[in-house]
Amino acid sequence: MQFRYFAAALAAAAFVGTVGAQDKMVMKAADVHPPGYPNVVAIENMGKKLEKETNGRLSIQMYPSMQLGGEKEMIEQAQVGALQIARVSVGTLGPVVDDLNVFNLPFMFRDEAHMRKVIDGPIGDELLAKVTASPARLIGLGWMDAGTRNVYTSKPIKEPSDLKGLKMRTMGNPLFVETMNAMGGNGVPLGYDQLYSALQTHVVDGAENNPPSMLTANHYQVVKVYSLTGHLIIPEMFVFSKASWDKLSAADQALVKKHSREVQMEQRQLWDKYVGEAEAKLKAAGVQFVPADKPAFFKATQPIRDKYGAKYAALQQRILDTK
Ligand code: BDP
């Protein structure tokens, strides 16, 4: 009996003090997406590599499928050290580290290739460092690709006027609510974990996301028209809890950082394949993909770029200049 308590206390103390060369550490990682999703697979692969290279001393235990809640909750858990790796959208991180909101501006990137160029280069590195240096108690480890977000509801959305009167779910960031309002709809911020039931019960009429999310979160079962507005290309980030990071040795920190860059490169290979498969599955399930008047949505969202973009003007220009 006593021994059991002792063992439990030892386990609870796993992150107390610097982890020495001999200490075993299981890092908890979380994602809203299900097993098999590129983001989940890429982090799991990092865990396997770490385990192999450290003879089982470091490993990753993945909690997928919103087991630990939505992204807001995941960020909070990482901040207190209850979770080591949180893979979240830059959309949800924007309210925590404001500099990131430059990526959350509508039509900020020309296309996905442009976004990749930016996250792989000096701007990507600077923003990871901004997260680390911010008071958010998180370490910016690396980026992931989340494709392009388009709106979906039960009718085609070709022009901003088509969104009139529709309650459209956005991620929890005021910037997105205003963007959706500027696009012609009514933005309703909601956690990803609440969205499926909100669609089902008509608390919202639609949402906006990439095809893999529409598929894996089962939104396509409720709404069947995917309109190619392409208004947002938002990368994802995986962050480490600073409370836990400070307990890693410098050598282990370097190892995790090295693998993070590999995750960034590997995830997009998985992503490219997964998007194509998701689109095919959505179409097979009766989802209609319809073109939208992108220039009209670009024009409608200009006030958002003017309002929010001003404080990041220099950075915005460097992003635009990235060829
Ligand atoms: C998905 C992102 C995920 C977000 C989700 C959302 O991968 O990180 O939580 O969108 O809309 O594309 O909340």
Q: What pLDDT, in 10s, does the model give residues 237-292? A: 999 999 999 999 999 999 999 999 999 999 999 999 999 999 999 999 999 999 99
**C-alpha–C-alpha distance, residues 286 and 282, integer Å:** 7
Amino acid 19: pLDDT: 54
Q: Give the per-residue pLDDT at 274.
A: 98
Kindly state whether residue 322 falls inside one of the protein's structural domains.
no
Say yes or no: CB of residue 168 within 6 Å of ligand 1: no
Q: What mean pLDDT comes out for the span 218-230?
A: 98
175 & 301 share domain:
yes
Same-domain pairing of 102 and 29 = yes
Instruction: Among 32, 68, 177, say which to mutate for ligand 1: greatest number of ligand atoms within 8 Å of CB.
Output: 32
pLDDT at 14 over 70: no
107 and 223 fall within a common domain: no
Q: Which atom of ligand 1 is nearest to the CA of 89?
A: 8
pTM of this structure: 0.93
Q: Which tokens is 18 given?
A: 């610097």
Positive or negative, the Cα torsion across 114, 116, 118, 121? negative
Q: Are residues 289 and 255 in the same domain?
A: no
213, 236, 267, best to mutate for ligand 1 pocket (most atoms within 8 Å of CB): 213
Whether 89 lines ligand 1, by a CB cut-off of 6 Å, is yes
5: pLDDT strictly greater than 60: no
Which one-letter amino acid corresponds to residue 248? L
104 shares its domain with 70: yes
Q: Say if residue 90 is in the same domain as residue 171.
A: no
**CATH number of the domain that residue 201 is part of:** 3.40.190.170
Judge if 252 and 294 occupy the same domain.
no
315 within a domain of the structure (yes/no):
no
Q: Is the CB of 236 under 6 A from ligand 1?
A: yes
Cβ(32) – ligand 1 distance below 6 Å: yes
Q: Are residues 189 and 132 in the same domain?
A: no
Rounded CA separation 180/176 (Å): 6
Longest dimension (CA), the chain: 69
Residues 178, 241, single domain; the answer is no
198 near 216, Cβ under 8 Å? Answer: no
Count of domains forming the chain: 2
Cβ 260 under 6 angstroms from ligand 1 = no
Give DSSP secondary structure letters for 232-265.
E---EEEEEEHHHHTTS-HHHHHHHHHHHHHHHH
**Tens of pLDDT along 185-211?**
999 999 999 999 999 999 999 999 999
For residue 232, how far is its CA from the centre of ligand 1 (angstroms)?
12
Ligand 1 in reach of 213 Cβ (< 6 A)? yes
* Predicted confidence (pLDDT) per residue in 205-220, tens digit: 999 999 999 999 999 9
Q: Does one domain contain both 118 and 10?
A: yes
Q: How far apart are CA 137 and CA 259, in angstroms?
A: 21
Whether 39 is in a domain gets the answer: yes
Query: Do both 272 and 212 map to the same domain?
Result: no
Is the residue at 321 inside a domain?
Answer: no
CB of residue 210 inside a 6 A radius of ligand 1: yes
135 is a domain residue:
yes
Is 316 a domain residue?
Answer: no
Domain containing residue 224: 149-233+285-310
β 236-241/25-30 pair status: unpaired
- Tens digit of each residue's pLDDT (9 = 90 or more) over 72-121: 999 999 999 999 999 999 999 999 999 999 999 999 999 999 999 999 99
Specify the pLDDT at position 23: 84
Same domain for 187 and 304? Answer: yes
Contact residues for 265 (Cβ-Cβ < 8 A; gap 6+): none
pLDDT at 6 over 60: no
Taking 50 as the threshold, does the pLDDT of residue 300 lie above it? Answer: yes
